[in-house]
Amino acid sequence: MKFCECDTIITLVDKNNISKGTVGTIVLCHKNNDDYEIEFCNSNGETMAFVVYNSKEIKKV
């Protein structure tokens, strides 16, 4: 599945201290492969982390 920048996603795997089921936003689509940089924020809207996920590790909300 292809995703776009600003898509809201949910993680399907644990990765880099981000738990499965965490909601994030795609901020960058890597053009040469199927990877996406995801931003995760806390309840105050502050950025907690940026983590790269493969399309098989996320799904659209």
pLDDT tens figures, 2-39:
899 999 999 999 999 999 999 999 999 998 889 999 99
Q: What is the pLDDT of residue 31?
A: 85
| Domains observed in the chain | 8-60 (2.30.30)
Asked if the model's pLDDT at residue 60 lies above 90, the reply is yes
Pairing of strands 35-41, 47-54: antiparallel
Nearest to 49 by CA among 35, 39, 59, 60: 39
